[in-house]
Chains A and B, each alone.
Chain A
Amino acid sequence: MALRLPRKDVVIIGLGWTGSILAHELLQAGLDVVAIERGPWRDTATDFLISYAQDELRYRLQHDLFLRPSQITVTFRNNAGQTALPVRSWGAFMLGNGAGGAGVHWNGETWRFLPTDFVLRSHLTQRYGADFLPADMTIQDWGVTFDELEPHYDRFEYLCGTSGTAGNLQGKIQEGGNPFEGPRSRPYPTPALKQGYGHALFAQAARELGYKPFPQPAGNLSQLYTNPLGVTLGQCTYCGFCEWFGCANYSKSSPQTTILPVLVRNANFEARTYCEVTRINLDRSGKWATGVTYADASGTEYEQPADLVILCAFQLFNVQLLLLSGIGKPYDPASGEGQIGRNFTHQTLSSALGFFDKDKYNFNPFVAAGAIGMCIDEFNGDNFDHGPLGFVGGGYIGQVQTNGRPIETTAVPPGTPAWGSKWKEALRDNYLSTVNCGAACHGSFYSYRDVYLDLDPTYKDRFGRPLLRMTIDFHDNELKMSAYLTDKYAEILARMGAKQVVKQPRKGPYDVTQYQTSHLCGGAVMGDNPGNSALNRYLQSWDVPNLFVQGASAFPQNAGYNPTGTVGALAFWSAAAIRSQYLKKPGPLVQA
């Protein structure tokens, strides 16, 4: 029998980016807030020490900061005809754990989606006709527009201190920025990072080919910055240990460096760590949440009653908790009905290796930052005419090499022996003079009827709950898009002066062992009616109005950008609706 704890106004499940933002916003509204976090508390001064933070073996290869599959994992199959098997060790994506969530280990790429991304189906149908889209593609409009989200993108960027160059300031195109971005109300809070040799050379070659390169918007700060909450971030030192690592220098935007120090000082806030929510509790009507049940590390169960439940776990676990709690109707791929688990997506990454003459080029690849790099956006979203190409979607293309860590980022030309003196020579001859950027083409992943999440019939977690099952494969549309983008990137590498370019377009089937970003999206998507979405435009559950579900699980499909900027913007957007509308009259904010 779970021990019943005193009621709180708000319970937040998971203390990553969205949990921290929602906690802060609701504390500002005068509510008392408890956050239940299944991992440890983590902080710069205690956990990310410069004397040992730069450890590739421990943090990159052995996943020291991440959730452990022994604690919880997922099962995976390419299609419904296969038996899903558990992901026993992470590969295709990495899942954060503990306070700060994935905001601890990310690279800091802080993008906005394109205005057309939010009205994707309407826009593509209008431009190319409904028949242009594959019949089983289930993309849809978000129910929120870029213009509505812009002030909230702005709030997230100013919380983070994002470093970048504006490309469109209130409708005026700016030299040196991304001319394709939606209009922004003001410049980035801090100027763009400096760029390394390889990044600068990419920009020069891209300009020569007629593109408009711009610095990647970065959550690695170019200068000292104090955010609106009064928290100060340091200047990035280009140490080259960013993604997979905690930042020892207070210069990567994370909940730790922007918001947690303020949260914990608020008397109405508390966090409970190493506590895992096992279900969201509903009243007898099944239409109102009464709070959550959670277990601490010893397995002891507690019931935390609350008036408002904010689900802020990682995308996969948001969907799993909805399914385990019996909230919403599970998606059925046969009928296409049901919303929980529908429109699951990832990212379509591809790249090319550029080998340069070692006597002429030294890129010092280890002098880098997580979101350093120069990009072009000519081939993202619908910035280019897809009519003759036979696919939709795209992605940014860039020299965004983040590091020169020796185990992960050494590349040798094809045909090199895998061991022995020849291998060593190739390592020596190419380490400093290779552009080796795994995420050069950051392609979209649109949604399909047969890509979805549900509960696994066989495999269980340590509480005996069914694991979430991923059924996912690439479709021709994404593979064509990836080949097209990879060709464009390879052309720029050749223009930079590479003596050998090795293209690495994405190939199917989807492989759960090949890292492809941790940008898993969808499964509990937002939309304009309960027939096409689990959540309304404010991320409020259609089925349980005192439940709001944050994060990328709300994306109806994934765009050709990193998701964190949009996740942050949606969190502020949702919080604003709760504060300005919901708290005055708790109930549905949109009538079904």
Chain B
Amino acid sequence: MTYSSFLQSEFLILWRRKQDVLNALLFFILVVALFPIGVDPSPAFLAPAAGGIIWCAAVLSILMAIEGAFKEDYLDGSLEQLVTSGLSLPLLMLLKVLALWGCVVVPLLLIMPLLSEMLFLPSTVFWVLILTLLLGSPSLFFIGLIGSALTVSLRQGSMLMMLLILPFYFPVIIFATSAVHAAQAGLSYSGSLAMLLAMSLLSLVVSPVMTAIAVKASVN
């Protein structure tokens, strides 16, 4: 096994399992669509709430996409093969996150113009929202994969994984929505964006190592 053959097969499998990614995307759209229907369809409510609505829906659908990231690998024994491949496990985990991130976040971003139009988000704020997603979502994946690897060997692991992971998502959600709010109020939002980037970079450093440790503990 080499790093490139691993990455290639990860993309191939994600492509063959595109229904899962599509489900997460559909879930995202449904949650966002429920707010105008269920709460208030007027721009006076939707425009200020749009950032929060989109971020909460995005977090839930990303959790959905991450939850089963290791399940198949664990059951068919390929996790064991990764551990015994002689390649660096943290690096393999990093590649896995990057592949998953690309396959989930790119469709999410593509659907974003439609949804922000639906929620009356001003176009200047739209780009700030996209920036928060680009800078903040990597940390969601990095943190989420640790939880996914930790709970993969448990039979009822998915609920536990969400309980473990969600608290670590709060700071990301808070800084992301505050950046959108600040942009809407015409204030400076670069501080919040910097915090998002900092969190993603920090989790980039910590997560692959932690995920590798969790994978080793799970196959043990």
Partners in one complex: no
